[in-house]
Chains A and B, each alone.
Chain A
């Protein structure tokens, strides 16, 4: 496809379980971002990958959150021991380069922790 693809689109999990969220960026885009959007709120920066550079993890809220990007393409955001406050929409975006390039977003994964 031409756009950023995220899966699953919806995920319901029980408190304490681990979840993995997947992002397929636009082909050729070297920069990849993860954001979290709580209900009715803005976009909270989580983590940013640029090429082979070390990722900027400064937005990850706790050590239960981690992300990796394999082969410079697909990325997985993992949340361990989920809590109810983790419930939100997790948005992924990619761009052709890190500087001066707008972000292209997927439609997000809506995570509900019960």
Chain B
């Protein structure tokens, strides 16, 4: 299936630590999205990015649209137990049908 490379695949961190994850593509994207998925639910949008170099924050979350337009990064500061879940990136192409392709996911576990 069509998916983007996302790393790390999983992380175990202590409460209060900062977290970084990234997503890379072989294609240029016009839009990058970051989602969080809790067990048994659909993904929920965290941050949307629309311009190369853009840096956007949502509370303790900060995401960046890479300058090359082929990558994106998500940082979580001062993690808390409810940050546990799976984080996905998604990119939208520049032509054609504008479908969104998702990353393979980063599974985050926070140790209290």
**Partner-B contacts on A (CB < 8 A):** 4, 33, 35-36, 41-45, 48, 50, 53, 56, 58-59, 61, 91, 93, 98-100, 102-108
Contacts and interface: CB of A to CB of B under 8 A. Distances in A.
Interface in B67-109: 88, 90, 92, 96-105
A99 B50 CA distance: 10
A43 B41 contact: no
Given A4-B42, A41-B104, A41-B105, A56 B99 contact: yes
Size class of the contact patch on chain B: 20 to 34
A48 B99 contact: yes
B3 A99 contact: no
A53 B3 CA distance: 24
Given A56-B99, A61-B1, A100-B50, A42 B42 contact: no
A45 B2 contact: yes
Contacts of B41: 107-108
B30 interface: yes
Contact of B88 (A43, A59, A99, A102): A43
Interface in B46-73: 48, 50
Nearest to B33: A102
Nearest to B106: A42
Contact of B42 (A36, A48, A58, A105): A105
